[in-house]
Structures are given as structure tokens and as C-alpha cells.
Chain A
Amino acid sequence: MSEFVFFFRASDAAQREAMGTPERAQQSMQKWLAWTRELEAGGHLKSGGLPLERDGRVVRGKDVVVTDGPYVEVKDLVAGFIVIEARDIAQAVELSKGCPMLAGGGSVEIRPVIAHMT
């Protein structure tokens, strides 16, 4: 088994769309909880991860350019992450397909965690 990190990316507008009315907020939340519960039941949820603040900084290049992140420019933000355990990246991708964020036009970035070298 290997570990993977799922980064949830969505635009601020998509987040607001998902939570726009109480009815939709309820539905979105329920979908998320159902999906994570499913991952947990399958023994894939290694860690619930942590939620992330919307703003942040990105430091780039040798000129040390500090920006308020790629989020504003590409209208994209990383809202949080979880750690998943899966056989391989193919299975991790398969597991990510149930993520409710995808239905709202968001994306899940799947990154393998380098295993401890023994």
C-alpha cells in the first residue's frame, strides 16, 4: 500500500455556488461526508488532513517574488487535503472520482507520498 495526498482545488465562486443556499449547503455537506465516510469504511482514509485558510503566500525564483498565492490569479484555491492509502496511483485516482468537488467543476490533485526509505 502507498500513501497519496488529495488536494482539493476549487474556485471561490464554485465554493460559493456549492454553499449558495441553505438547501444546497445541506446537500453539498452531505455529499462530502458520505464520500469521506465511504473512503474511511474502505480503509483508505489514512488521515482526515487539515482545512486550509484561503489566503497564503507563494515565494518564487531567485528574485524572491512574494505573491499572495496563485489562487487569486487563477481563481483557484486549495481548500484542504486528506491523506489516502491505496494500492497504486490508479486506485487512488479511482477513489478520487467520487469527490463531490468534481461535480462543481473543481479538481482533485493526487500526489504520491514518497515512502520512507529503509
Chain B
Amino acid sequence: MELEAHLFRRESARLVAALTRVFGVHNLALAEDVVQDAFCRALEVWRTRGVPDNPSAWLTATAKHRALDVMRRERTARTFAPELARLLDDELVEEAFAPHTIRDEQLRMMFSCAHARLPEEARIALILNLLCGFGASEIASALLTGRAAIEKRIARGKKVLASARTLFDLDDAELGARQPTVQRALYVLFNEGYHGASESPVRVELCAEAIQLAALLGEHPRTATPATHALGALMCLHAARLPARMDETGVPIALADQDRARWDARLVAEGLALLERSASGHDVTTYHLESAIAALHASARTLDETDWSTIVTLYDRAMAIAPSPVIALNRAIAIAQRDGPEHGIDAIDAIVDRERLARYPFLPAALGELELRRGNRIAARAHLRNALVLARSDAERRFLEKRLRACE
């Protein structure tokens, strides 16, 4: 029996959510302990007996037994006594592990992490850690921060979470205020999968995870807002292009060279349907704009047939809502497609806070492409060499080396 990819990551999120219901948020560390214990037990048993037919059920059963054990042992201990007497009931534990309960608990966990007393980066780090099973180093690379800082943030976040007895109530009036953080965390997760800074350029499973969690938001009546649907739409529309984004050796393929027949039509359709649902409110969020751009790409048959001028307009609106040098860079590339490489280069030069992209390899890479397109091979080579120095993974390096060879 083969080990399912990312089994432990998925199970960790489900089990921590279920166990938090059993033990209470103030015992989050205990819930995490029990999950780790179930994992250790799996290592001991599976390596000699082989992976069971249903590893997920095996881990759930092990965690459930362990939870009951812990409660029996700690029943008399002061910290647990009152609620554990009530909880030490198989039925309640069964209930906590029921699939629909786990789904709701995961949603409540997401909103608990979006705590008002935590800075936004800490909230995102917590969601990635508790709901997506990310380690501190993975989160550090996704958020372009150091590992030590993330560890500190997670530890502090858990302390804040533990100050509550129960998870966030989805009927709470504060739900609306917390929603943007939750959405943003899922966006970061998807982005890390779509083009992460870490070892592999595309990590489909992270995208799938983000889509699944966004669907969770989209299903609950209180969290199914236009912005949630727009977020879901942008994930589906980008994910649709993933099958064509890498060659057999794992090197990214530029948009111009992708085989569009390999784009996933089912995901495109799903994304377009979500985009339609997202149009019900009055708000236009960056997710609306980004998914609209993704929709234009997904429905264009060739690079040249792409509606670049609408894309530029959408980027203009995105800059008006939430200006960022990354959006400005993408806008510049769209301008180059619409008006020619010189205009794109001018737009890049005009990016206001460009220095924030000093370590971002795609800035010099874009300049290199545009210089190459206007026939300036020497400048193109210089820019691509700069990009190569900044490359964050082997695949990025090989991609840039390939582009560099195109300048010869």
C-alpha cells in the first residue's frame, strides 16, 4: 500500500480541529500533542505492518482512543475536571470526529486564528500552521520572513487562542471583520502553491488545499460572501492553467509557450460560475479584479487574442484599491502586451516603490524579456543574469537559464 501524498498534512488539520472541540481551545497544545502521538504510533505500526487500507480512518481512530485515554488519566486534575467529566463520554467524542463537525470546527478554527489581538501576519501564520499543517520554515518562505520570527508569532498566536475557552462562534458579530484575514491567508496559501518560493515551483497540493478551504467558506451561509466567491473563482481559474505550467523536467513554461489545450476546462467552468456568483454585491475587491483578469486569460485561445486592454484597465482598478509593486509589475507586463515592450519598460521604471522588489527575481526577468523583445540582447542578458542571482529555487534558475540561452 502506497502512502497517499500529503496524508499527514490533511489529517493534522482535521484532527487538531476535532480535538480542539474535545479539549477546548485553551488546551490547544494538548490537542496538537495527541495528533503528534497518533503520527508516532503510525510510524511504529505502519513501518512493520504496512500502510492500512484507510490510513485516514486509522489515524482518526488512534487519535480518538488517545483522547479518551488522556481524559481518563487527567480526570482528577484540576485544569480539566469540570468539563472533562462531561466530555468523558464516547458519544461526545464520536460527535467531535464526525465529518460535518470537523468541517465546522475547521471553519471556526480559521476565524479563531483571525484574532483581533494578533497582527495580520501572525494570523496568517497561525492559519497556515493549524489548518494547513505548515511548519515554521515553510511559512517563513511563503511570507518572505525569517523562521525565528514565524516561530515566535505562532507561539504568541497560540497563547492568544488559548485564552479563549471555545473556538470562535460563527454567529458572532465580529465575523465580518475577521473575514478578510481568513481570505487573505487562503490567498497566500494558494499563491505559495501556484508559484512558491520554496523548492518546487508548483505545488499542486497546496493549491488544492486552498481551493478546498475556500470552498468551505463558500458553503457556509455566513461566510459565502461575494469576496469569498471571487477568491474561489481566482483560485479555480489559475489552478486550471497548472497542468500546462511545467515541462517534464519541472521547469516552468512561460505563458506564451503553454499548450492551452492542457488547461483544465472543468476548473475554468467552475471558476467562471464562481465569478458570476461573486457579482451579486456592491463591493469590488481585489479578488474580483484578479479573478476577472484570470478569466480573460483562461478564455483566450492564444496570447495575442487575449484582451490585454481590459486587463490593463483591471490592473488600474486594482492599483486604485490596493496599490502594490507586484500588481504594478504585472500591469506593466500587460501594457507591454498591449502597446509594445518600450511602454512596458517605461511602466516598470515608473513603479513607485520598486525597491521593495529588489529581491524579487521576476522584476529583472520581466525587464530581460522586454529588452529581448525589442531586440536589445545585451541589455536582456544583463537583466536575466541579475534575475538568475535572485532565483529562489532550482526550477526558477533553470527557467531563467533557458531564457538566457534564448538571448544568445
Contacts and interface: CB of A to CB of B under 8 A. Distances in A.
Contact of A22 (B12, B45, B46): B12
A51 B49 contact: yes
Interface stretch (A12-20, A59-67, A90-98, A110-118): A12-20
B119 to A, nearest CB: 23
Interface string A36-52: 10000000000011111
Interface in B27-41: 36, 39-40
B48 A19 contact: no
Contacts of A21: 133-135
Contact of A51 (B5, B6, B45, B51): B45
Contacts of B46: 29, 32-33
A48 B6 contact: no
A22 B9 CA distance: 5
B44 A16 contact: no
B236 to A, nearest CB: 25
A16 B7 CA distance: 17
B8 interface: yes
A81 interface: yes
A50 B6 CA distance: 26
A23 B9 contact: yes
Contacts of B192: none
B3 interface: yes
Contacts of B49: 48, 50-51
A80 interface: yes
B36 A16 contact: yes
Contacts, number: 79
Given A22-B8, A23-B135, A24-B135, A32 B47 contact: yes
A82 B36 contact: no
A29 B59 CA distance: 14
A2 interface: no
A33 B3 contact: yes
A75 to B, nearest CB: 15
B44 to A, nearest CB: 5
Contacts of A25: 8, 12, 39, 42-43
Contacts of B12: 22, 25
Contacts of B2: 33
A32 B43 contact: yes
B105 interface: no
A79 interface: yes
B371 interface: no
Given A15-B43, A16-B36, A23 B133 contact: yes
Nearest to B13: A22
B11 interface: yes
Interface hub of A26, A28, A32 (most chain B Cβ within 10 A): A26
A57 B328 CA distance: 68
A29 B133 contact: no
Given A19-B36, A26-B3, A26-B7, A48 B50 contact: yes
A21 B133 CA distance: 7
B384 to A, nearest CB: 33
Given A79-B44, A80-B48, A23 B138 contact: yes
A11 B179 CA distance: 43
Nearest to A50: B48
Contacts of B9: 22-23, 26
A29 B3 contact: yes
A82 B39 contact: no
B43 A26 contact: no
A81 B48 contact: yes
A52 B49 CA distance: 11
Nearest to B12: A22
B48 A49 contact: yes
Interface hub of A15, A19, A30, A32 (most chain B Cβ within 10 A): A19
29 contacts: A15-B40, A15-B43, A15-B44, A19-B36, A19-B42, A20-B36, A21-B133, A21-B135, A22-B6, A22-B8, A22-B133, A22-B135, A23-B133, A25-B39, A26-B3, A26-B5, A26-B9, A29-B8, A29-B43, A29-B51, A32-B43, A32-B46, A33-B3, A33-B47, A48-B49, A51-B49, A52-B44, A80-B44, A82-B48
